[in-house]
Amino acid sequence: QVRLAESGGGLVQAGASLKLSCVASGFPFSEFAMGWIRQAPGKERELIASTKWNAEVTYYSDSAKGRFTISKDNTENTLYLQMSSLKPEDTADYYCARDRQRRRSNVPRGIRDFNSWGQGTRVTVSS
């Protein structure tokens, strides 16, 4: 059974940094691409970052590019999202997600590429 457990969310001021973690279990973590998806209040879900199964290629949305860094530790079965220069518009529930395809040749770039999600961790950025 796929299990994804996010942590690290909280309330921070604009300009601060925060690091999210996602501990995975129940599947061969090193063979699946992973991503971070967020959903802000009243808005659709957004894929903000993803990494290929071997962690050699990453993808960032325009909103995350230059401020967020995704990393995948295949030895610890853990996915990270380092967020810096946070803005109030980054306020959202952040979810760790697993690719639906094993060893996908390309880095996933769409929400539909993912089929397993965690419970999420909430990030609130005050102005």
What is the tens place of the pLDDT at every residue in 27-61?
Answer: 999 999 999 999 999 999 999 999 999 999 999 99
The pLDDT value given to residue 59: 98
The pLDDT value given to residue 74: 95
User: Among residues of the chain, what percentage have pLDDT more than 90?
Assistant: 99
Provide φ and ψ at 61, rounded to 5°: -75, 165
For the segment 112-121, what is each residue's pLDDT rounded down to a tens digit?
A: 999 999 999 9
Which tokens hold the place of 118?
A: 């965690």
For the segment 66-105, what is each residue's pLDDT rounded down to a tens digit?
A: 999 999 999 999 999 999 999 999 999 999 999 999 999 9
